[in-house]
Amino acid sequence: MRPVIIAANWKMNTTPADAGRLAVTIAAASQAPGVVRVICPPYLSLAAVRDAVTGEGIDVGAQNVHHELAGAYTGEISAPMLAGLATWVILGHSERRRDALESDALINRKLARALESGLRPIVCVGEQLADRDAGSAEDVVAAQVRGCLAGLDAAALADGGLVIAYEPVWAIGTGRTASAADAAAMSEAIRRVVAEVGSPDLAAAVPVLYGGSVTSANIAEFLAEPSIDGALVGGASLKRDEMAGLVGQASITAAARAAAQAG
């Protein structure tokens, strides 16, 4: 059974002191069985969050990583630098694609570095509103998945715990969300491509998260879809009560899926 994952992307928010305090309150409020919880704070807050959640069953992730292991790249952070600070990393978030002009080829290189360094990757893919309106959303996302996974060994991706987050770009920070049915259809399309470029076993095992203005009020409809395995959460992840609600609903889903599998 695929895990149910709630990954918090704090983006460019919190100082180290703020992050530590927030992580403590979220850890206390979101204790629910069966859910993989990940907090991805800014680089400067990684150590504070790591220390705050030690022993609480929460993993820590970085929001990005460089495509080289070392070198003359002022201001950048490499995968080996994250050792002891993070065990997960977000790759190819739509804001990185937009603001840093990250391509699928570059994300592919970052993914290779993450796997080599033992960081569990969350690879983000998603279409613009114009793509959906033109009826090409699945083609756009399929091309992104192919580009990000190109040339990488299926066994290495499986061993590295590949996770894919589907984030319809037009639903991020806009208050709009994709329908659960649309998100489920895209999750299934993503798995078809993973089976094509990786393997059917990898496609069956890879968790697909939804990320597009997710809140405690709407997550249940997405988790009701068997092909959706959790959420990559932005703004709502900075609020204790929202995280408690998100993890609580995810725990209900995890228990229901475990019971169905056992039955």
DSSP bridge partners of 232: 7
Give CA–CA dist 132/222, Å, rounded.
19
Name the nearest CA neighbour of 157 among 181, 210, 193, 184.
193
| pLDDT score for 239 | 97
Q: What is the pTM of this model?
A: 0.96
Give CA–CA dist 52/113, Å, rounded.
27
CA neighbours closer than 13 Å in the CB half-sphere of residue 233: 30
Give CA–CA dist 181/67, Å, rounded.
35
> Which residue's structure tokens are 């929460």?
58
Name the nearest CA neighbour of 2 among 236, 258, 183.
258
pLDDT tens-digit series, residues 97-117: 999 999 999 999 999 999 999
pLDDT tens-digit series, residues 129-187: 889 889 999 999 999 999 999 999 999 999 999 999 999 998 877 777 789 999 999 99
Report phi then psi at 90, rounded to 5. Answer: -90, 135
Give CA–CA dist 84/60, Å, rounded.
10
Q: Which of 66, 67, 93, 102 is catalytic?
A: 93
Q: 4-262 is classed in which CATH architecture?
A: Alpha-Beta Barrel (3.20)
Q: Which of 102, 127, 138, 167 is catalytic?
A: 167
Q: In sequence order, what are the residues at sequence separation of 6 or more whose Cβ sits closer than 8 angstroms to the Cβ of residue 55?
A: none
DSSP 215: -
95 noted as active-site residue: no
> Which residue's structure tokens are 């993450």?
114
**DSSP H helical segments within 117-199, as ranges?**
129-133, 137-149, 154-159, 180-197
DSSP 1: -
Give CA–CA dist 203/222, Å, rounded.
19
| pLDDT score for 95 | 95
| pLDDT score for 178 | 85
DSSP 125: E
Q: In sequence order, what are the residues at sequence separation of 6 or more whose Cβ sits closer than 8 angstroms to the Cβ of residue 156?
A: 115
Are the C-beta atoms of 213 and 234 separated by less than 8 Å?
yes
Are the C-beta atoms of 228 and 182 separated by less than 8 Å?
no
Query: What is the share, in percent, of the chain residues with pLDDT greater than 70?
Result: 100
Are the C-beta atoms of 125 and 190 separated by less than 8 Å?
yes
| pLDDT score for 212 | 86
Are the C-beta atoms of 235 and 217 separated by less than 8 Å?
no
167 noted as active-site residue: yes
Q: Which helix (H) or strand (E) holds 47?
A: helix 46-53
| pLDDT score for 259 | 95
Q: What is the CA radius of gyration of the chain?
A: 17
